[in-house]
Amino acid sequence: MSDTDNVTDIRRPIEFTIDGRSYETTTRRQPAADLLRLAGLDPALYDLGELRGHRPEPVRYADTDTVEIHQNARFVSIRERADVA
């Protein structure tokens, strides 16, 4: 029996979504900007929001905020501003 047999694998991938698209990671703490880039979004144009429970408004993160990713977390992109012609 090895030493790792009784240890929970902390590297097990965590599943989460950004704008309804599924992603996996083994890095549970990441900057919000990195999660936006993972979703193909420019952090200069978007903020990251997290939907929690039944709250109508997402919790908004700044690009430099470190986000704790939990299993089945639901994130959304929030456009910072719309340019007006």
The angle subtended at Cα 68 by Cα 50 and Cα 56, nearest 5°, is 20
The domains found in the chain, sorted by start residue, are 12-79 (3.10.20.90)
Taking alpha carbons only, the member of 56, 50, 33, 47 closest to residue 79 is 47
Tell me if the pTM is above 0.85: no
Q: What confidence tens digit (pLDDT) does each residue in 3-49 have?
A: 444 444 557 899 999 999 999 999 999 999 999 999 999 999 999 99
Q: pLDDT band at 83, cuts 50/70/90?
A: low
The pairing of strands 21-25 and 59-61 is: unpaired
Q: What is the pLDDT of residue 23?
A: 97
Q: How far is CA 43 from CA 3, 37, 40, 56, in A?
A: 42, 7, 9, 23
Q: pLDDT band at 82, cuts 50/70/90?
A: low
